[in-house]
Amino acid sequence: MAIEHGSTARYTPSVSSRRVAAATKLEPTRARLDVEERRRQLVALGHELFSTRTYDEVSIDELARAAGISKGLLYHYFPTKRDFYIATVREAAKQLLDRTDTPRHMDLGDRLDAGIAAWLDYVSEHGPAFISLLRSGIGADVEVARIVDDTREAFLRRLLEEAPIEKPSPIVRVALRGWVGLVESAAVEWLGSQRAVKREVLHKFLVETFLGIIQMAAKEG
């Protein structure tokens, strides 16, 4: 995870190549790609670091040290620690949505099962970050809150597409949004209890509540 100090040289070409590109007006595309690639590497590293520790626990000095670059260069890519953090939250949301996406050709029950398994994998791996995001920590930030909300909305859209219901009525939408809230809250409680409940018990519970809630809502709608 931590990139060693000695590797600094490996990570500076983007800046020098940008200088060359600016001077000679050659390869501006390559230079831009370098910057984007470097940002991606830094975001991946930040995502790792913020996975097991909260925003306040990770200092900008440590982030720069782990990336093997100077603080100044880190600020070149991300003007503030918060900007950097927001980029890692965006990356986390993207990974969560990607990993829980299931092949359309699968049977609905299997998709639900696979989706819940992938979701539990992800929150198990990123427990502290997940709890701090949903619980308070940096939930502080309006932009972070928007990413969390957008992710919920993306899950909701996916569930509405997948739900075994012809034309979802408003109560089905409310019910599915409620289920997303149930999954999040149950997971926070589960992680906070040092996983006092066996994972397969929680998994089964989430599958059953999904089916039960859809049924109840369909009956009402």
Least Å distance between CB 14 and a second copy? Answer: 34
The interface region with a second copy, picked from 60-68, 90-98, 120-128, 203-211 by CB under 8 A, is 203-211
Least Å distance between CB 192 and a second copy? Answer: 9
Q: Which is nearer to a second copy, 34 or 184 (CB)?
A: 184
The rounded distance, in Å, linking the Cα atoms of 178 and 65 is 42
Under rule CB under 8 A, how many of the chain's residues touch a second copy?
Answer: 45
Q: Does 80 bind a second copy (CB under 8 A)?
A: no
DSSP the chain: -PPPGGGHHHH-HHHHHHHHHHHH---HHHHHHHHHHHHHHHHHHHHHHHHHS-GGGS-HHHHHHHHTS-HHHHHHHSSSHHHHHHHHHHHHHHHHHHHT---TTS-HHHHHHHHHHHHHHHHHHTHHHHHHHHHSGGGG-HHHHHHHHHHHHHHHHHHHHHSS-SS--HHHHHHHHHHHHHHHHHHHHHHHTTS-S-HHHHHHHHHHHHHHHHHHHHHH-
Q: Does 174 bind a second copy (CB under 8 A)?
A: yes
Q: Which is nearer to a second copy, 105 or 167 (CB)?
A: 167
Q: Which of residues 183-202 bind a second copy (CB under 8 A)?
A: 183-186, 188-190, 193, 196-197, 201-202
Q: Does 208 bind a second copy (CB under 8 A)?
A: yes
Q: Does 81 bind a second copy (CB under 8 A)?
A: no
Q: Does 209 bind a second copy (CB under 8 A)?
A: yes
The rounded distance, in Å, linking the Cα atoms of 206 and 181 is 11
The interface region with a second copy, picked from 59-67, 84-92, 93-101, 211-219 by CB under 8 A, is 211-219
Q: Which of residues 110-149 bind a second copy (CB under 8 A)?
A: 135-137, 139-142, 145-146, 148-149
Q: Does 108 bind a second copy (CB under 8 A)?
A: no
Q: Which is nearer to a second copy, 74 or 120 (CB)?
A: 120
